[in-house]
């Protein structure tokens, strides 16, 4: 009986040792072989032009044709397994539009490599576009990108018409794809007599230049606004007005020419203008913007003398931040190594306004809790609030400032 027990015990110990041997070495091999994918390189090649209909997004296609888009991954560690358009469905694309792409990346071999749960923006290297966001779904990484702006020419004005109630005043209807900046020429009897090289607005009073009787006509074309737009946009052709006959008794005395305020605008002074190191914005009426002004979809603030503000500004007891361009900032802003949050329009409720600096409370941003101090700075580290301690991540990574829950181990 004793011998049988000893033999059973010896077999059990041997079997246990064999199991431990396999568990140990299989774990070592698995751990040693599984490595994170730390850097992601994506190439976007597009031959879309304004007016094209976005079709299929090709993956790893060699040579692409006109109106096509392809994406390529520059790595042996992963492959692009799916590519589709994000955002709203568009029947056609326009000059300057930055189309959204959704790419699904899969590890080439999940036993060898894996995607991290979160990445810094600096981990992505995008050619032909830029990084927006990334999230892991199972073994895959779903990447949201924006393509570089669609190239093409701006539309010419739809029509150019004389104002029947104001002699010499002309107005034009912008095309669908338009920069808001125009070149305007005045002709008399077929000869050009005056030109405004760069005009912001869609009307002008040419009467001060109609000092002789004759047949007058205006040509207008859409211009590229600035150096940034020149990277993807081209100007349009001219659109002509009908003829306007000016008789001797109707000619102008020439008052209201360059530099003088005229009925429908001031030559070369409508729109943005730099003066004494500051910027002003002149309306078609000749008046300067003062206070709040929305220009090309962005909010600006102008002092009583018309000068545009920059940086932090306290307006009616609320703090705002204006970028170097003068545009009001929304969302996250980093200033002097501290982070602030300016409310987007969609988040402004209960008396709050878009662009207002959030302060003195907790705020949920994209599903994560942050605390902002009374001066608006995002809090990091330990926080004692209403009798309880909280910890907000102080490591400079993608989770900086996020409130942690559960157990936390720090080296």
Ramachandran sector of residue 198 (left: φ over 0; alpha: ψ -120 to 50; beta: rest): beta
What integer pLDDT is reported at residue 258 of this predicted model? 54
pTM: 0.48
Smallest Cα–Cα separation from 42: which of 113, 182, 144, 152?
144
CA nearest neighbour of 168 among 266, 270, 245, 271? 245
Residue with tokens 């699904």: 104
Q: What is the DSSP string of 241-267?
A: PPPEEE-GGG----TT-TTS-BTTB-T
What's the confidence (pLDDT) of residue 346? 85
pLDDT, tens digit, 9 for 90 and up, residues 193-206: 898 888 988 999 99
The pLDDT of residue 250 is: 82
DSSP per-residue string spanning 161-194: EE-TTSTTEEEEE--SS--SEEEEEEEETTEEEE
pLDDT band at residue 27 using 50, 70 and 90 as cut-offs:
very low
**Is the distance from CB of 378 to CB of 339 less than 8 angstroms?**
yes
Query: Which pLDDT does position 30 carry in this prediction?
Result: 42
pLDDT per residue as tens digits for the range 106-116: 999 989 999 99
Average pLDDT value for the chain: 85
pLDDT for res 407: 62
Question: 174: which 2 tokens?
Answer: 């912008």
Residue the block writes with tokens 């580290």: 381
In sequence order, the β-bridge partners of residue 378 are 372
**Cβ neighbours of residue 406 closer than 8 Å, sequence gap 6 or more:** none
Q: In the predicted model, is pLDDT for residue 12 greater than 60? A: no
> Is pLDDT of 46 > 70?
yes
Q: In this structure, are residues 182 and 125 in contact, taking their beta carbons and an 8 Å threshold?
A: no
DSSP run (H or E) holding 21: helix 2-33
- The encoded tokens of residue 61 equal 């296609």
Q: Which residues contact 110 (CB under 8 A, 6 or more apart)?
A: 139
% of residues, the chain, pLDDT over 70: 86
Identify which has the larger pLDDT, 245 or 296.
245
User: pLDDT tens digit string along 315-340?
Assistant: 989 999 999 999 999 999 999 889 99
Interatomic CA distance for residues 169 and 256, integer angstroms: 13
> In terms of CATH architecture, what is 154-271?
Sandwich (2.60)
C-alpha dihedral sign at 76, 82, 86, 89? positive
Collapsing DSSP to helix, strand or coil, 50 comes out as coil
User: How far, rounded to the nearest angstrom, does the alpha carbon of residue 243 sit from its chain's CA centroid?
Assistant: 43
Q: Taking 80 as the threshold, does the pLDDT of residue 216 lie above it?
A: yes
Instruction: List, for residues 124-162, the tens digit of each pLDDT value.
Output: 999 999 999 999 999 999 999 999 988 889 999 999 999
Q: Are 145 and 103 in contact (CB under 8 A)?
A: yes
Span(s) in the chain for CATH 2.60.40.10? 154-271
Q: Is 184:228 a contact under the CB 8 Å cutoff?
A: no
């Amino acid at each position: 009986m004793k011998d049988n027990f000893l033999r059973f015990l010896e077999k059990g110990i041997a079997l246990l040792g064999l199991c431990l041997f396999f568990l140990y070495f299989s774990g070592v091999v698995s751990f040693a072989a599984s490595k994170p994918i730390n850097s992601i390189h994506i190439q976007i090649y597009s031959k879309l032009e304004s007016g094209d209909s976005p079709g299929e997004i090709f993956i790893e296609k060699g040579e692409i044709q006109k109106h096509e888009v392809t994406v390529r991954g520059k790595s042996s560690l992963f492959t692009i397994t799916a590519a589709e358009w994000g955002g709203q469905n568009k029947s056609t694309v326009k000059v300057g539009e930055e189309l959204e792409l959704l790419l699904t990346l899969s590890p080439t071999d999940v036993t060898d490599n894996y995607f991290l749960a979160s990445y810094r923006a600096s981990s992505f290297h995008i050619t032909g576009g830029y990084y927006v966001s990334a999230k892991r779904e199972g073994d895959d990484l779903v990447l949201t990108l924006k393509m570089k702006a669609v190239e093409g020419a701006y539309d010419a004005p739809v029509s150019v018409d004389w104002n029947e109630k104001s002699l010499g005043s002309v107005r034009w209807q912008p095309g669908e794809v338009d920069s808001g900046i125009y070149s305007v020429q005045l002709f008399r009897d077929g000869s050009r007599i005056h030109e405004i090289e760069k005009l912001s607005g869609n009307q002008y009073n040419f009467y001060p230049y109609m000092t002789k009787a004759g047949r007058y006509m205006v040509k207008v074309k859409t211009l590229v606004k600035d150096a940034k737009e020149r990277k993807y946009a081209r100007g349009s052709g001219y659109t002509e007005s009908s003829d306007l006959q000016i008789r001797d008794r109707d000619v102008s005395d020439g008052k209201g020419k360059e530099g003088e305020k005229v009925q429908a605008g001031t030559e070369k002074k409508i729109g943005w203008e730099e003066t004494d190191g500051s910027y002003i914005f002149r309306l078609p009426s000749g008046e300067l913007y003062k206070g709040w002004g929305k220009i090309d979809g962005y909010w600006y603030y102008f002092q009583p003398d018309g000068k545009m503000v920059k940086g932090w500004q306290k307006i009616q007891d609320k703090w705002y931040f204006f970028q170097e361009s003068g545009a009001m900032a929304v969302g996250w802003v980093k200033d002097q190594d501290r982070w602030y949050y300016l409310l987007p329009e969609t988040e402004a409720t209960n008396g709050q306004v878009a662009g207002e600096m959030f302060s003195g409370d907790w705020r949920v941003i994209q599903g994560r809790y942050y605390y902002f101090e009374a001066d608006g700075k995002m809090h990091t580290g330990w926080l004692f609030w209403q009798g309880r301690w909280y910890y907000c991540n102080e490591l400079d990574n993608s989770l900086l400032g996020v409130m942690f829950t559960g157990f936390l181990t720090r080296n």
